Amino acid sequence: MFKKILEQIREEEEKFGDELQPPCSKESILLLNKEVNSKLDYSIPVQYNEFLLITNGLDYNGLVIYASERSTLIGYEDRIIEGFIDANLVFRESELFENIIVFGESDNVLYIFDKTKNKYRVVDKISLDTVDTIKSFDILIVQALEMHLQ
């Protein structure tokens, strides 16, 4: 589902001389999955792996989806995309995020998986109040991308 939207974003980026991040290698994804399982006690959804195989992270129109590891934003030496594990470890410094996996964020919301409730959610960045409950990662990422299309 999200592949068509990423193609639209790619076309929009090209209009402004920008481009998507290069894809993540399969080897890096295997390593990421192993480390996430070990450090965060979580198994990454297949669709997130597929997303990373297209673009290793995304910084587009106020939306950030974390990369496999912290990396420089293509075309901007002074901007970075946080890595999935590092971002989640920073969030985990707060007890509120002990059972939360964060995939990305925008100005107002976080895109998360709540391990306690076994649900994907969009939550307010400050209060952590639920904005929306989502059935799957695929729908979560589609919703996030669609909300930020120009």
Mean pLDDT of the chain, nearest integer: 96
- Residue 119 bridge partners (DSSP): 114
Amino acid at 108: N
Structure tokens at 83: 């890595």
Residue 57, SS3 per DSSP: coil
- Banded model confidence at residue 82, pLDDT cuts 50, 70, 90: very high
- Find the CATH number of the domain harbouring 113: 3.40.1580.10
* Spacing of C-alpha 136 from chain mean position: 14
Residue 149, pLDDT score: 87
pLDDT in tens, 99-130: 999 999 999 999 999 999 999 999 999 999 99
Neighbour-count burial for 77-115, b at 16+ CB within 10 Å, e otherwise: eeeebbbbbebbeebbeeeebeebbbbbbbeebbbbbbe
* Spacing of C-alpha 138 from chain mean position: 12
Phi-psi region of 130 (alpha: psi -120 to 50; beta: other; left: phi over 0): beta
Low-confidence winner among 66-70, 81-85, 129-133, 145-149 (lowest mean pLDDT): 145-149
Structure tokens at 106: 């925008």
Please give the tally of structural domains in the chain. 1
Helix (H) or strand (E) holding 47: helix 46-54
- Banded model confidence at residue 66, pLDDT cuts 50, 70, 90: very high
pLDDT at 150 over 80: no
pLDDT in tens, 2-32: 999 999 999 999 998 899 999 999 999 999 9
Domain range for 55 is: 2-148
Determine the Cα–Cα distance for residues 49 and 44; give it in Å rounded to an integer. Answer: 7
